[in-house]
């Protein structure tokens, strides 16, 4: 079962600056979208290293409470140092998957909140410091679990899934046109030795795609790594569940801001905002980072922000 334990901000030890300081994406746009008010209660459902929560509390000191959720206890521990100056009275960190938000609000004696933020991007910590094989540019164990209590790793999928299922996974979650060829090379390799590290998998994938068809702006293994990460962490399933649950967690007029980083996520968000009668889309098209932000933080280039407002449904006449 996923933990929903609160993490104390007190007595948190020092954390290396390299690991705690990162650049949150589209901060101004997020804060404009949430439009925090004095006395409001807000949820950062994907806290990461706490950049958005820090910006929110710094710019709007009248906020009553921010609940910061993250499924990764290591990431949550690193957010303590960044957010500890605000104190436990205004920031509460909770180790949990965001799909449990409704129960978390109940256990914290909170009815509905004024705003919810989800940043669906992978954090700097996971790519550079976690040692879990999220990055194809590092030689790390092929794990990719956000929550280390999970039982399935990327290595399990790569080395144990039948070829047909693995091909479907990479085609669907990675939108990879070379999925069949990649999986054939994976299967040929795993007959002789398992693929156990991120660097090893990246090499197999890169060699499977003809050199002249390697993408220019991203590594040849990017889509395969994306597909495996999504599958290991059930990212799209969890997003669908959250999109169904979150509107009921918002007060009328409350806002839901979601930053996605690939078309599969954005499609789900766009559809939910358009079809859920509890929500009114406030962004006709997704907001994207400006050229200066992309220059400073190239990882922001794929970000898309959509904002919706919860509306009060009138009771149906008998």
The answer to whether residue 18 is domain-embedded is yes
Last residue of a domain, one of 218, 234, 250: 234
Q: Among 172, 202, 234, identify where a domain stops.
A: 234
Strand order in the sheet with 250-260: 5-7, 91-95, 65-70, 41-44, 113-119, 250-260, 304-310, 279-281
Rounded Cα gap, residues 259 and 307, in angstroms: 9
Mean pLDDT, range 215-241, rounded to an integer: 95
Q: What percentage of the chain reaches a pLDDT higher than 90?
A: 79
Q: What is the pTM of this model?
A: 0.90
Note whether 22 and 68 are same-domain residues: yes
173 and 211 in a common domain: yes
Same domain assignment for residues 140 and 103: no
127 vs 72, residue with greater confidence: 72
Q: Are residues 26 and 55 in the same domain?
A: yes
Angle CA(112)–CA(102)–CA(230) in degrees, nearest 5?
A: 125
**What confidence tier does 88 reach under pLDDT thresholds 50, 70, 90?**
confident
pLDDT of residue 299: 85
Domain with residue 117: its CATH number is 3.40.50.150
Q: Quick one: 12 and 60 in the same domain?
A: yes
Same structural domain, 141 and 272: no
Q: What is the pLDDT of residues 28-61, one digit of tens each?
A: 999 999 999 999 999 999 999 999 999 999 999 9
Percent of the chain at pLDDT exceeding 70:
91
User: Quick one: pLDDT band at residue 317, thresholds 50, 70, 90?
Assistant: low
DSSP 285: S
Q: Poorest-confidence range of 16-25, 232-241, 287-296?
A: 16-25
Looking at residue 315, what is its pLDDT?
A: 52
The residue from 234, 261, 288 where one domain ends is 234
**317, part of any domain:** no
145 and 220, same domain (yes or no)? yes
pLDDT digits (tens, 9 = 90+) for 109-135: 999 999 999 999 887 778 887 889 999
Pairing of strands 304-310, 250-260: antiparallel
- Residue 314 confidence (pLDDT) above 80: no
Please check whether residue 315 lies inside any domain of the structure: no
CATH number at residue 221: 1.10.150.170
If asked whether residues 59 and 101 sit together in one domain, one would say yes
Question: Which tens digit of pLDDT belongs to each residue from 243-271?
Answer: 999 999 999 999 999 999 999 999 999 99
Q: Are residues 25 and 153 in the same domain?
A: no
Greater confidence (122 vs 72) lies with 72
Q: In sequence order, which residues have a C-beta less than 8 Å from that of residue 212 and are 6 or more positions away? A: none
- If phi > 0 it is left, if psi is from -120 to 50 it is alpha, else beta; for residue 87 that is left
Query: Is 105 in the same domain as 143?
Result: no
- Tally of domains in the chain: 2
- Domain ranges, residue 170: 132-234
Query: Does residue 188 form part of some domain?
Result: yes
Residue 218 lies in a domain: yes
Residues 184 and 250 in one domain: no
User: Are the beta carbons of 120 and 269 closer than 8 angstroms?
Assistant: no
Q: Would 318 be classed as within a structural domain?
A: no
- Whether 198 is in a domain gets the answer yes
Is residue 90 one of the residues assigned to a domain?
Answer: yes
Please check whether residues 200 and 257 belong to one and the same domain: no
Best CA proximity match to 119, nearest among 43, 57, 58, 62:
43
């Amino acid at each position: 079962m996923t933990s929903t334990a609160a993490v104390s901000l007190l007595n948190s030890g020092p954390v290396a600056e390299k690991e705690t300081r990162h650049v949150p994406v589209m901060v101004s746009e997020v804060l404009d979208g949430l439009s925090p008010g004095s006395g409001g209660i807000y949820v950062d459902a994907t806290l990461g290293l706490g950049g958005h929560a820090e910006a929110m509390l710094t710019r709007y000191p009248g906020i009553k409470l921010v609940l910061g959720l993250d499924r990764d206890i290591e990431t949550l521990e690193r957010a303590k140092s960044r957010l500890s100056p605000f104190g436990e009275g205004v920031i509460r960190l909770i180790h949990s998957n965001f799909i449990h938000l409704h129960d978390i609000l109940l256990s914290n004696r909170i009815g509905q909140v004024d705003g919810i933020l989800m940043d669906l991007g992978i954090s700097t910590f996971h790519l550079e410091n976690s040692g879990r094989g999220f990055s194809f540019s590092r030689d790390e164990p092929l794990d990719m679990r956000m929550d280390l209590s999970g039982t399935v790793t990327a290595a399990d999928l790569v080395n144990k899934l039948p070829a047909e299922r693995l091909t479907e996974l990479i085609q669907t979650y990675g939108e990879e046109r070379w999925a069949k060829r990649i999986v054939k090379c994976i299967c040929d390799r795993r007959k002789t030795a398992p693929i156990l590290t991120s660097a090893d998998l990246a090499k197999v994938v890169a060699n499977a795609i003809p050199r002249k068809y390697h993408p220019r702006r991203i590594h040849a293994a990017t889509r395969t790594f994306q597909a495996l990460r999504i599958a290991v962490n059930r990212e799209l399933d969890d997003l669908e569940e959250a999109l169904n649950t979150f509107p009921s967690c918002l007060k009328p007029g409350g806002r839901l801001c979601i930053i996605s980083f690939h078309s599969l996520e954005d499609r789900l968000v766009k559809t939910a905002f358009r079809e859920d009668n509890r929500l009114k889309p406030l962004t006709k098209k997704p907001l994207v980072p400006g050229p200066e932000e992309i220059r400073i933080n190239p990882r922001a280039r794929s970000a898309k922000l959509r904002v919706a407002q919860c509306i009060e449904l009138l009771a149906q006449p008998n």
